Chains A and B, each alone.
Chain A
Amino acid sequence: MKIPDLKKKMMESEVWKSIFRHGYEDTPRNRALMIMGNVFLHLHPVRIPRHALRLSFTWGMGGITFTMFLVTVATGIFLMLYYRPTAEYAYQDMKYLMHDVPFGPLIRNMHRWAAHGMVICVWLHMFRVFLTGSYKPPREFNWIIGVLLLVLTLLLSFTGYLLPWDQLSIWAVTVGSNMARASPFLGHEGPFAEFVGANPIYDARAFLFGGGEIGPHTLLRFYILHCIFIPLVASLLMAIHFWRIRRDSFSGPSL
């Protein structure tokens, strides 16, 4: 049997047809099916305004931010294989990753730089959306989702900052978390703390740390927030964010 015959037979088999609903014919119908028939692509509209494709309009920042997120997810899973979130092992595992694991340094560096890149790109994305006024009706709510995603991006990066368990991590997180200690009412060093009885082991920062100061409990807490909770919430909001672009259509001058 020749290759083309084999290909034809394969593509007409029941199994193939059960997986792939349509081929690659270059017809408007098929182009629409390509988007609608795909769970990931269907978050896009089937057709978009020509100007929304231009990089000079979008700067590509939303897409780049999402790409960075996917990179951190993929590299993050790899890192989880070699990392134990306990004070005894965390730092040793980092050393192991950086010196003995094949491609360990590359994966960790990618994870780190993609996370930083994500923060920068999400800010630039916000600036671009502001400049093009793309938050104006009917897209007000998507801007709010975007602000929440910006906050979650910062929190993702911040919780990940602690995990290497080196001097840089714990002191940066200490400084960054001291604001929780200073919250009015809820932090033991904040105004009016005495009225609610907040103290060093029972206040907003202790809730975040799982204790009065950074320790093994904090590491586990940040690990779970970093690897499970925040990514889940962020993914959910991203799905809404993209879906909303489709529902409300790309912004552009009204015709």
Chain B
Amino acid sequence: MIEHFTKGLFKENPIFIIVLGLCPTLAVSTQVVNALGMGAGVIFVLLGSNFFVSLLRNFIPEKIRIPSYIVIIASFVTMVDLFMQAYAPTLSKNLGVFVQLIVVNCIILGRAEAFAKNHTVSESVLDALGMGIGFTLGLLLISLIREVLGAGTITLFPFGNFDGVIRIPVIYNAPIRVIGLATGALLVIGYLKGFFDWMAIRKKKREIEKRVSAVKV
């Protein structure tokens, strides 16, 4: 049961392994605070859509499943958008059009179609949490690298006297601007994916070696 949750974090990470939702990933991974906001929005929408798609899996006829899923997803996205505009205006301004674009984020429709429609409600909720958190973690990692190298800052939420921006000495005065642009996003995602693939292959090799040596003994 618990593996429905943990698989989304690393083994089937939506960004690095399934390679879904790259469009918003490229767009909002310029600042850490945007990654957090986008992640929270995606987790909420994913939870709502997976819950209802799974709950209604015997009610929704096969023929109209895609329009039904889109209606459910769009409703949750609109809710997130309205609540953000009303109660988190700065975040809503920063994320701009990408909140509305969660509707067509392939992670959400992908999980509804590939998982929630033939699993129980509790399994689907766990899957949504895992995938959502996995997406957020991936987004955080990319945005951290891009913001530190590309702007020399780490932008978090402002509170008290702290304006929410950590400035990193040296890099702040001479940032590598290309990392902050779309090209940099592709480069960073490519290198990270290469790194994770290398780790996965190495792990597999070790397992095989272990088995081989066990057979020899």
Q: Do A and B come together as binding partners?
A: no
Chain A residues within 8 Å of B, Cβ to Cβ: none
